[in-house]
């Protein structure tokens, strides 16, 4: 087995293992519980999860999607989050190889996975993720030549400032709050990790995707324009798109406009 294959397999397993921890964060952070103690347990009966049942993806399959002690169903979201994070880790490795960029963006994307599912469940983005994320992203910019601390710093200001301006203008015109502070801090974190050039792309991509999905949901559910849809998952999708396809999409768009 070649070293590349070994590293690729390791990157997937690393992502899946971290995904298992993300499941704990997704469940406990909104409840204000510690993500370290107590160890993983069944939400229904409180029984501790045995180590061999806590193996990412395989543990859920071994248990048949049910608690070993009480037989309560275990949501398929658990292995899905582990698989998703494993695939993201693998994709980052294939694009950037075993490099500091891989490690930094792996941490960033893992945080986005946690934010996405927390926002979907509770329509909140915990400060405990976004605020330290801004600091970590800015600190990492000093070690990444392609990013640089100036681009990261401008990204923080541009990311947070742009959504803050939009939220302020919307509230001024409608007298209603249209965007939470969590989204503002999240985009500031994205600017810290990806630089200021990513901000316009993320805003455009997330708005486009959010509009399409929002209109579709309103039509399917027969809801009006007051349907509340968390924006964090769309921002996260835009950031991931920028990492893997941003330059290609921007080049294509500029080339299209030049014709």
pLDDT tens figures, 8-60: 999 999 999 999 999 999 999 998 989 988 888 887 787 888 888 889 999 99
Q: What is the pLDDT of residue 254?
A: 78
How far from 231 is each of 117, 197, 228, 241, CA to CA, in Å? Answer: 11, 20, 9, 16
The full 3-state SS of 69-105, as one line of letters, equals: CCCCECCCHHHHHHHHHHHHHHHHHHHHCCCHHHHHH
Q: What is the pLDDT of residue 225?
A: 55
Question: Could you tell me the two tokens for 109?
Answer: 């994307």
Other C-beta atoms closer than 10 Å to the C-beta of 104 total 21
Q: What pLDDT score does 37 carry?
A: 84
Give the model confidence (pLDDT) of 218-256 as tens digits: 788 776 556 678 899 999 999 999 999 998 888 887 787
173: buried, middle or exposed (CB in 10 Å: 19+, 13-18, 0-12)?
Answer: exposed
Q: What is the pLDDT of residues 95-144, one digit of tens each?
A: 999 999 999 999 999 999 999 999 999 999 999 999 999 999 999 999 99
Nearest residue to 131 (alpha-carbon basis) of 160, 109, 102: 160
Q: What string of DSSP letters covers 153-179? A: HHHHHHHHHHHHHHHHHHHHHHSS--S
Whole-number pLDDT of residue 54:
87
What is the structure's pLDDT at 3? Answer: 82
Cα–Cα distances in angstroms (integers) from residue 218 to residues 115, 205, 221, 229, in the given order: 24, 20, 5, 10
């Amino acid at each position: 087995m070649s070293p590349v294959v070994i590293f690729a397999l390791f990157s997937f397993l690393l992502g899946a293992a971290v995904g298992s921890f993300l499941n704990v964060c997704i469940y406990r952070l909104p409840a204000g519980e510690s993500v370290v103690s107590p160890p993983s347990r069944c939400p229904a009966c409180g029984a501790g999860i045995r180590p061999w049942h806590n193996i990412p993806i395989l543990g859920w399959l071994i248990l048949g999607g049910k608690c070993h002690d009480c037989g309560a169903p275990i949501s398929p979201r658990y292995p899905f989050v582990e698989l998703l994070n494993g695939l993201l880790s693998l994709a980052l490795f294939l694009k950037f190889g075993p490099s500091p960029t891989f490690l930094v963006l792996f941490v960033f994307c893992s945080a986005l996975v946690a934010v996405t599912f927390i926002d979907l469940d509770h329509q909140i983005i915990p400060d405990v993720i976004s605020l330290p994320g801004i600091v970590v992203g800015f600190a990492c910019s000093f070690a990444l030549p392609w990013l640089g601390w100036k681009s990261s710093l401008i990204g923080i200001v541009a990311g947070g400032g742009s959504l803050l301006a939009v939220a302020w203008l919307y509230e001024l015109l409608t007298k209603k709050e249209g965007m939470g502070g969590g989204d503002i801090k999240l985009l500031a974190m994205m600017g810290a990790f990806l630089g200021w050039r990513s901000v316009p792309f993320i805003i455009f991509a997330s708005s486009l995707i959010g509009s399409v999905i929002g209109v579709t949901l309103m039509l399917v559910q027969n809801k009006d324009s007051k349907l509340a849809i968390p924006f964090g998952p769309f921002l996260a999708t835009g950031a991931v798109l920028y990492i893997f396809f941003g330059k290609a999409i921007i080049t294509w768009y500029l080339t299209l406009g030049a014709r």
